[in-house]
Chain A
Amino acid sequence: MHPGTVWTIYKKELTDTLRDRRTLIFMLAIPMVAIPLLIMAISQLMMSQITKQIEYESMVIVQGAEHATDDLMARFRDAGTLKLLTENEYRASDSTHKGDLKDALIAGDFEALVVIPETFDSAIESETPTTVEIYYDQAEMKSEFTVDKLRDVLDPYKEHVVEQRLKSRNIPADVIEPFDVSKHNVAPMRKLAGEKVGAMLPYIVILMCFMGAIYPAIDLAAGEKERGTLETLLVSPASRGDFVVGKYLVILTTSLIAALMSLGSLTFSINYMVKGLASEIGKMLMLQLDVSTVLLIILVVLPMAGIFAALLLSVSVFARSFKEAQNYSNALMMLIILPAIASMLPGVDMSYQLALVPVLNASMIIKNAVSGTVQWNYVATAFAASVVYAAILLFFAKKWFEKESVLFRT
């Protein structure tokens, strides 16, 4: 390899590539314009969804309301966003309300069904254990929120009953509360916001890393064939290895720029824009995206860009035409997306085996880093594995660039 020649090739190809509008779109326009817009749209959507769920008046049917204590029923009726109907009231309200209540719940006629056992009243009176059942539809977010609202009524009532019983025995209420656990109910919001954005982040960065490499890669090899410039390179005294390395470095450059621009844009949007929109969600999201996390993400993206650049260059050298290289790249993109999506699945946990799987390892590490865990042993494994893969792929690109049957494919 001749560094001087590689540098000549690198400079020329980079100039050429940076004058290509398609490359600029992926490198600059999408990260700087599309990503902030996307983040804004998503956070707006989440905000409005959450407010809608919370303010929504949930319809709840109480079966066996006549067995409930008056106190409990009063508490239910006083709860702000609950519309409570006894079974009889419900059936009377509409002539079609005849069938099984659980079927009606599944059908979405109301959000939850509370079943008070026949013995409830007397059980409370006689201090024997009893159960209140809540039926809900987990597939429906509204229904899930309704359960939270019902618990907000039932739990204080339970405490109240306990308090009464203690009082009747002359025991101070503090006895059953040796210490206080202060919990803050942000669970539904984190589920919606934190996890979704956390999982989306690696996906976007990886995708942009790949997209930033596509057009330069196609143009730099298959494009040379199509334009008829390849042969002029082959008969020049610069060695074929120098061309491969020079071109590879250009693709790597654009890929990294696209990925880093996206990461920067994401960090900025999340830390500033979302925060401005809704302080609580904003705080939750920006929690983990600090400087060290961003540096870690760069560390995993670097060798992955190395893999993408080598992979796309190989494919492009192999392809007969621009169009063919484009088709291959699109197919590859599907392959890249799969592991990125797999990392979003709940229950996929990091292990040494997973750390060896390209792309999946990077997205797992980013996902975990965003939610606050960094396991350096896996980061090191993934880094080393990715560097090896990139080197192997680059070797293939070079082999093909030296092979007549690939260069002059007809």
Chain B
Amino acid sequence: MIQANNLCKVFKDKKRGEVRAVDGVSFECKSGKVFGLLGPNGAGKTTTLRMLSTALKPTSGTAFIDGIDVEREPQRARKRIGFLSGNTGLYGRLTAREMVRYFGRLYGMQKDVIAERIDKIFTLLDMHDFADVRNDKLSSGMKQKVSIARSVVHDPPVMVFDEPTTGLDVMSSRTIVGFIKQCCNDGKCVIFSTHIMSEAARLCNRVAIIHKGKLYADGTVHEILSSSGCDNLEDAFIKIIGE
């Protein structure tokens, strides 16, 4: 479970001065549910997710992963989070197996546990054929699977996805969407950001709409539609952020 309480992040930018990328954002996502963070470019989605995943420290506010304060005990929180974004890449000169094994070690897992886990994940994602091929030589769909395998090697109860389908072709996108559903069925707590409304409508149990760093709405897709009086999420989104 993820809890964000009044999260704020201020960047000091040379040209723009102080940028309030995230400004007082609070929400809660439960295990076994998919929580969608919707917002246009520059809304603060990435920044919010980076604070949850401990890559960035909040300027103020707190976040808890399964009750663990990410700022006080980042090490413990990190072990419970799997992170995947559209920009996360691979080590081209390592094979899928080497790469996933490396991350298993970074997460403090024992060698035999890792080997078992790799076998299980690679079977699930149908990766055995290219498990020992260098990542450079893989198709983009295969690369996506390696990224997924990397993010779940430590079997985290919380998954953070930042625009995971951005820039992917249809097949790779389907792989990811299927994987998110799988995570949800496995009882994991999933949060993911997107600006594609149809994707959000299809996947999410709950959505939050974020714009210019502020949270504009938070509820089930149904609640959002009825409170805005629109019949699709895109219109509701436009109406809510007021443009």
Interaction A to B: yes
Interface residues of A (CB under 8 A from B): 5, 8-9, 12, 15-16, 19-20, 227-229, 231-239, 404-405, 408, 410
Residues of B within 8 A of A (CB): 11-13, 50, 53-57, 75-76, 78-79, 81, 83, 85, 87-94, 98, 102-103, 105-108, 134, 150-151
Min CB distance B128 to A, Å, is 22
Given A8-B106, A16-B94, A231-B55, is A236 in contact with B78 using a C-beta cutoff of 8 Å?
A: yes
Tell me if B78 and A237 are in contact (CB < 8 A). yes
Measured CB to CB, the closest approach of chain B to A169, in angstroms, equals 89
29 A-B contacts (beta carbon < 8 Å): A8-B105, A8-B106, A12-B98, A15-B94, A15-B98, A16-B94, A19-B134, A20-B93, A227-B89, A227-B90, A227-B91, A227-B92, A228-B85, A228-B88, A229-B88, A229-B89, A231-B50, A231-B55, A232-B83, A232-B103, A232-B150, A233-B106, A235-B53, A235-B54, A235-B55, A236-B78, A236-B106, A237-B78, A238-B106
Chain A residues within 8 Å of B103, by CB? 232, 236
**B57 pairs with A404, CB closer than 8 A:** yes
What is the CA–CA distance of A225 and B220 in the complex, to the nearest angstrom? Answer: 36
- A229 and B91 form a contact (CB under 8 A): yes
A237 touches B94 (CB 8 A): no
Minimum distance in angstroms from B117 CB to a CB of chain A: 15
Cross-chain contact A237 with B75 (CB below 8 angstroms): yes
Chain B residues, Cβ within 8 Å of A405: 11-12
Q: Given A9, A19, A228, A234, which contacts B89 in the complex, CB threshold below 8 Å?
A: A228
Quote the shortest CB–CB distance from B88 to chain A (angstroms).
5
Contacts of A404 in B (CB 8 A): 56-57
Given A8-B106, A229-B88, A231-B83, decide whether A408 and B56 contact each other with a Cβ distance below 8 A.
yes
Closest B residue, CB atoms, query A18: B93
A235 to B160, CA, bound (A): 11
Q: Could you tell me the distance in whole angstroms from the C-beta of A18 to the nearest C-beta in chain B? A: 9
Residues of A contacting B12 with CB < 8 Å?
A: 405
Q: Which of B55, B78, B93 contacts A19 (CB 8 A)?
A: B93
In the complex, are the beta carbons of A237 and B106 less than 8 A apart? yes
Output the least CB separation between B77 and chain A (Å). 9
Output the residue of A5, A12, A227 with the most chain B CB within 10 A: A12
Q: How far is the CA of A404 from the CA of B55 in the complex (A)?
A: 8
Q: Across the interface, do B81 and A235 meet the contact criterion of CB distance under 8 Å? A: yes
Q: Check A8–B102 contact: CB distance below 8 A.
A: yes
Contact between B102 and A237 (Cβ–Cβ < 8 Å)? no
| Chain A residues whose C-beta falls within 8 Å of the C-beta of B134 in the assembled complex | 19
Q: Whose C-beta in chain A lies nearest to the C-beta of B103?
A: A236
Kindly list chain A residues whose C-beta atoms are within 8 Å of the C-beta of B106: 5, 8-9, 233, 236-238
| Chain A residues, CB < 8 A from B55 | 231, 234-235, 408
Majority SS of interface residues in chain B? mixed
State the Cβ distance, B45 to closest chain A Cβ, in Å: 14
Is A12 within 8 A of B57, CB to CB? no
* Contact of A237 with B89 in the complex, beta carbons under 8 Å: no
Which of B13, B56, B98, B108 has a CB less than 8 Å from the CB of A237?
A: B108
Pair A235/B93 contact, Cβ less than 8 Å: no
Assess whether B92 is in contact with A237, with CB atoms less than 8 Å apart. no
* Residues of chain A lying within 8 A (CB to CB) of residue B85: 228, 231
Give 8 A-B pairs besides A5-B105, A228-B88, A236-B107 with Cβ atoms closer than 8 angstroms.
A5-B106, A8-B105, A231-B83, A232-B88, A235-B54, A237-B76, A237-B108, A408-B55
Q: Give the docked Cα–Cα distance between A268 and B151 (Å).
A: 50
Give the residues in chain A near B79, CB-CB below 8 Å.
237
Q: Are B78 and A16 in contact (CB under 8 A)?
A: no
Within 8 Å CB of B56, what residues of A?
404, 408
Those 10 A-B pairs whose CB atoms lie nearest each other, nearest first: A228-B89, A227-B89, A19-B93, A236-B106, A237-B78, A228-B87, A8-B105, A238-B106, A235-B53, A234-B55
Chain B proximity of A22: nearest CB distance (Å): 11
Residues of B within 8 A of A5 (CB): 105-106
Most chain B beta-carbon neighbours within 10 Å: one of A16, A233, A236? A236
A19–B99 Cα distance when bound, in Å, is: 14
Q: Write out the residue numbers on chain A whose beta carbons fall within 8 Å of the beta carbon of B92.
A: 227
- Choose among B83, B89, B90 the residue that contacts A235 (Cβ–Cβ < 8 A): B83
B11 proximity list for chain A (CB < 8 A): 405
The complex places the Cα of A233 from the Cα of B85 at a distance, in Å, of 13
Residues of chain B lying within 8 A (CB to CB) of residue A231? 50, 55, 83, 85, 87-88
Residues of chain B lying within 8 A (CB to CB) of residue A235? 53-55, 78, 81, 83
A237 in contact with B57 (CB, 8 Å): no
A131 to B91, CA, bound (A): 79
CB distance from A172 to the nearest CB of B (A): 84
**Contacts of B81 on A, CB cut-off 8 Å?**
235
The distance in angstroms between the C-alpha atoms of A237 and B82, with both chains bound, is 11
B3 CB to closest chain A CB, in angstroms? 18
A231–B75 Cα distance when bound, in Å, is: 15
Cβ distance A238 to chain B, nearest Cβ, rounded Å: 5
Q: A235-B78, A235-B81, A237-B78 are contacts. A16–B88 as well, Cβ < 8 Å? A: no
- Chain B nearest CB: distance from A355 CB in Å? 41
Q: A228-B88, A231-B88, A236-B107 are in contact. Are A12 and B83 (CB under 8 A)?
A: no
Instruction: List residues of chain B with CB within 8 A of the CB of A16.
Output: 91, 93-94
Minimum CB–CB distance from B15 to chain A (whole Å) comes to 10
Most buried by B among A235, A238, A239, A404: A235
What is the bound-complex CA distance between A372 and B87, given in angstroms? 57
Q: How far is the CB of A230 from chain B (nearest CB, A)?
A: 9
User: How far apart are the CA atoms of A236 and B94 in the complex, in Å?
Assistant: 18
Please name all residues of chain A whose beta carbon is closer than 8 Å to the beta carbon of B108 when the two chains form the complex: 237
- In contact, B102 and A12 (Cβ under 8 angstroms): yes
A231–chain B nearest beta-carbon distance, Å: 6
| Residues of chain B within 8 A of A19, CB atoms compared | 93, 134
Chain B: minimal CB distance from A226 (Å)? 8
Report Cα–Cα, A337/B75, bound state, in Å.
Answer: 43
